[in-house]
Chain A
Amino acid sequence: MKALRADLRLAWELTRGSDRGEWWRVALTATGAALATGFALAAVALASLRGSYRVSVAAGLLDEPGTRSGVIVGLLLLLVPVLGFLGQCARVGAVHRDRRLAGLRLAGATPWQVRRIAALETGLACLLGSAVATVCTVLLLLRQWDRPTALAWVGITLVAVAVPVLGAASGALALRRVVASPLGWVRRVGPRGGRGPGLLFLAGVLLVGVLALLTVGTTSPAASNRPNGGPPLQLMGVVLAVGAGAVWLSGATAKATGRILAVRARSAATLIAAERLRDDPWSAARTHAAVLLVTVVGTGFLGIRQVMSDVVRTQRFSAPASYYTTGLDLTGAAIAIAFAITLSGLAVGTAESLATRRRGLAAQAAAGVPRTVLGRALLLETALPLAPAVLLSGLGGTAIGTWYALLAGRPVPWAITLVPVAVYAACLLAAATSLPLLRRSLRPGELRYA
């Protein structure tokens, strides 16, 4: 206990003495943890319901176990972009943090001490976000639900504890290389090459999948009109398979784009961007994978939405039309939230990549490399690998929309082909939010600090 207190104090002192980047990391990590907690708590609260209920929100969508399990899966799926976002947050100030902790090792700290401090740094930020989200969710829940069941309280407690614990564990795991080789890390000046697609992210996605299986498996069979949770599970399986494939696809696309363009580049900006991609194609793979997922799901959904809206408008069903339109609107809102989180992750990742390289960039500018060239290279690092990947995922989403339209015997909603274009433009805009930071990074003052 005494050792933990000492580590806690040291972690606090290190964070307090850190630069603005570290505070950004804490704030963004807490935000990500709050989002994760919020979505998980909502899913847990719904999963604790058994049988039919009258829920005053969502136009009856939450009343029956069948549709409720679909909403639960949707909420759990929202955790995937949040995981990508948290992964990007962990990279903010990563180089400086790794050096600082490696410095601790050199100063005599044991590997276990360094791991504990790293875990505390991340865990505390997650605890903050988790606590805020838990308090807000519980207050909101008590306004809708007079007496939540014991199962709901157990689930809420588990989520509130699990988020900071998982955050702390991932913080410690992320530093395994520093712990193993402090000297090697301190001396490393360039970015790491040949990294995998982010085992922590994939483990997180797997965890989300297992949770979804558990919740659907325990809630859906209780439905009288739907004996099993087959469709949501199949959807979940497809999305997870596509998600895992998307991580590899985006990394592989970045690598191939870098390799092809590096030898053919005619301009300095393209050369710099292509070589950066070739050197570390996995750096943005998680965020890009989330972009691909959102593109597939968003394009496909808009196609399905258009067809379903058409069907609901022209045919009569037993449930009121608002039941279906609310379902469509909620799904649309969830996809929009996922897209917003993904774009935030992209912006954070681009900003972090700049912050890590700021001294080198200032040296480039001092040596006469125009700011416009460096700015173009920054945008190209996002634009080049995303172009083929978004095109492919847009085609996939359009195929889903077309298939559904043909199935329902309705006209194909061709307008959805514009979705990938809009996603691509939004991604470039998200990357462009770092351009003011680039301007600051090029200040001669950066040359004065190592």
Chain B
Amino acid sequence: MSRPVPLLSASGLTKAHGRTPALRGASVDLHAGEILAVTGASGSGKSTLLHCLAGIVRPDEGSVTYDGRRLADLPEKRLSELRRTEFGVVFQFGQLIPELTALDNVALPLLLAGTDRARSRTLAGEWLERFGVRGQQDLRPGEMSGGQAQRTALARALVTGPRVVFADEPTGALDSLSGEQVMTALVHTARESGTAVLLITHDAQVAAYADREVQLRDGAVAPLGVTA
């Protein structure tokens, strides 16, 4: 029986920030609908790996392939479009525009894709409903709790129906209860829509939500095996 072709695949990635190496030959595969946790100590290169996989930065060496296309071959404009339509990105904080309401923040990717304002807002409202923050739709990020803001960020990452969601420490700034709510919402929605999730975390409890976990050590991947 042949192994399924990974949706996203990285091979031999190296990347240095100035003279400090962050990745040293890291390789990782992500399959469609899979939830993969990447764990590791601080400074092990987790965030840099996510940035390379999402096409945010170009690796110094090695390649990233998404759905049969090498990201290195795509121009910056196409990479932006890819991140807007087929990828969703969630950071620990900062991705919501502070001046926009929760509803407009979630509607923004749709507006950028050319959907009209009214339709964008309707769809955004539905996604906020799914994540249990419909009641906060008129609040700005600064007026919401950390958990509400992060669920809004998840709604924004998923509103375009991406095939892969990259989540960089999505619960890193939250208390355990809020973190649990965010992870439950993310995993539930990803399972429902068949979205693959690459989850960067240093928290074992968060990693436990994943189908598979790989550990980064000094910029290289050390597989741990199936955890769920």
Residues of chain A at the chain B interface (Cβ within 8 Å): 188-191, 265-268, 271-272, 275-276, 278-280, 359-360, 362-371, 373, 444-445, 447-448
Other 18 A-B pairs with CB < 8 A, given A275-B104, A276-B99, A363-B89:
A189-B98, A190-B99, A191-B98, A267-B111, A268-B111, A271-B111, A271-B117, A275-B97, A275-B99, A279-B140, A367-B109, A368-B81, A369-B84, A369-B108, A373-B112, A447-B47, A447-B94, A448-B47
Nearest opposing residue in chain B for A373, CB measure: B112
Instruction: Please name all residues of chain B whose beta carbon is closer than 8 Å to the beta carbon of A365 when the two chains form the complex.
Output: 80
A3 to chain B, nearest CB (A): 37
Q: Indicate which residue in A271, A364, A371, A448 contacts B95 across the interface (CB closer than 8 Å).
A: A364
Nearest opposing residue in chain A for B77, CB measure: A370
- List the 10 closest A-B pairs by CB distance, nearest first: A368-B84, A190-B142, A368-B83, A190-B98, A363-B95, A275-B99, A363-B94, A279-B99, A367-B89, A276-B99
Q: Is the CB of A366 within 8 A of B83?
A: yes
Instruction: Please name all residues of chain B whose beta carbon is closer than 8 Å to the beta carbon of A265 when the two chains form the complex.
Output: 117
Instruction: Please name all residues of chain A whose beta carbon is closer than 8 Å to the beta carbon of B112 when the two chains form the complex.
Output: 268, 368-370, 373
Q: Is the CB of A363 within 8 A of B91?
A: yes
Q: Is the CB of A367 within 8 A of B95?
A: yes
Nearest opposing residue in chain A for B117, CB measure: A266
Instruction: Please name all residues of chain B whose beta carbon is closer than 8 Å to the beta carbon of A268 when the two chains form the complex.
Output: 108, 111-112
B55 to chain A, nearest CB (A): 9
B85 at the interface (CB under 8 A from A): yes
Instruction: Please name all residues of chain B whose beta carbon is closer than 8 Å to the beta carbon of A280 when the two chains form the complex.
Output: 99
A446 to chain B, nearest CB (A): 9
Within 52-83 of B, Cβ neighbours of A (below 8 Å) are at: 54, 56-57, 77, 80-83
- Chain A CB within 10 Å, residue with most, of B77, B80, B140: B80
Q: Is the CB of B84 within 8 A of A367?
A: yes
The docked-state distance in angstroms from the alpha carbon of A280 to that of B94 is 19
Nearest opposing residue in chain A for B116, CB measure: A266
Instruction: Please name all residues of chain A whose beta carbon is closer than 8 Å to the beta carbon of B84 when the two chains form the complex.
Output: 367-370
A282 to chain B, nearest CB (A): 14
Q: Is the CB of B142 within 8 A of A189?
A: yes
Instruction: Please name all residues of chain A whose beta carbon is closer than 8 Å to the beta carbon of B98 when the two chains form the complex.
Output: 189-191, 279, 360
Instruction: Please name all residues of chain A whose beta carbon is closer than 8 Å to the beta carbon of B77 when the two chains form the complex.
Output: 370
Within 99-127 of B, Cβ neighbours of A (below 8 Å) are at: 99-101, 104, 108-109, 111-112, 116-117
Secondary structure dominating the interface of A: helix
Instruction: Please name all residues of chain A whose beta carbon is closer than 8 Å to the beta carbon of B156 when the two chains form the complex.
Output: 367
Instruction: Please name all residues of chain A whose beta carbon is closer than 8 Å to the beta carbon of B88 when the two chains form the complex.
Output: 367
Q: Is the CB of A359 within 8 A of B99?
A: no
Q: Can you list 30 A-B contacts with CB-CB less than 8 angstroms, sorted by A residue number?
A: A190-B141, A190-B142, A191-B99, A265-B117, A267-B111, A271-B111, A272-B99, A278-B99, A360-B95, A360-B97, A363-B91, A363-B94, A364-B97, A366-B51, A366-B89, A367-B84, A367-B95, A367-B109, A368-B80, A368-B81, A368-B83, A368-B85, A368-B109, A369-B80, A369-B112, A370-B84, A370-B112, A444-B57, A447-B51, A448-B17
Q: Is the CB of B94 within 8 A of A368?
A: no
Q: Is the CB of B56 within 8 A of A271?
A: no
B209 to chain A, nearest CB (A): 22
Nearest opposing residue in chain A for B109, CB measure: A368
Instruction: Please name all residues of chain B whose beta carbon is closer than 8 Å to the beta carbon of A364 when the two chains form the complex.
Output: 95, 97
Instruction: Please name all residues of chain B whose beta carbon is closer than 8 Å to the beta carbon of A189 when the two chains form the complex.
Output: 98, 141-142
Q: Indicate which residue in A359, A368, A444 contacts B82 across the interface (CB closer than 8 Å).
A: A368
Given the interface contacts A190-B142, A267-B111, A373-B112, does A366 sit within 8 Å of B104 by beta carbon?
Answer: no
Nearest opposing residue in chain B for A262, CB measure: B104
Instruction: Please name all residues of chain A whose beta carbon is closer than 8 Å to the beta carbon of B57 when the two chains form the complex.
Output: 444
Q: Is the CB of A447 within 8 A of B91?
A: yes
B157 at the interface (CB under 8 A from A): yes
Instruction: Please name all residues of chain B whose beta carbon is closer than 8 Å to the beta carbon of A360 when the two chains form the complex.
Output: 94-95, 97-98
Bitwise, B210-227 to A at CB < 8 A (1) or not (0) is 000000000000000000
Instruction: Please name all residues of chain B whose beta carbon is closer than 8 Å to the beta carbon of A370 when the two chains form the complex.
Output: 77, 80, 84, 112
The docked-state distance in angstroms from the alpha carbon of A276 to that of B84 is 22
A293 to chain B, nearest CB (A): 28
Instruction: Please name all residues of chain A whose beta carbon is closer than 8 Å to the beta carbon of B47 when the two chains form the complex.
Output: 447-448
Instruction: Please name all residues of chain B whose beta carbon is closer than 8 Å to the beta carbon of A447 when the two chains form the complex.
Output: 47, 51, 56, 91, 94
Q: Is the CB of A271 within 8 A of B104?
A: yes
Q: Is the CB of B97 within 8 A of A444?
A: no
B198 to chain A, nearest CB (A): 14
Instruction: Please name all residues of chain B whose beta carbon is closer than 8 Å to the beta carbon of A188 when the two chains form the complex.
Output: 142
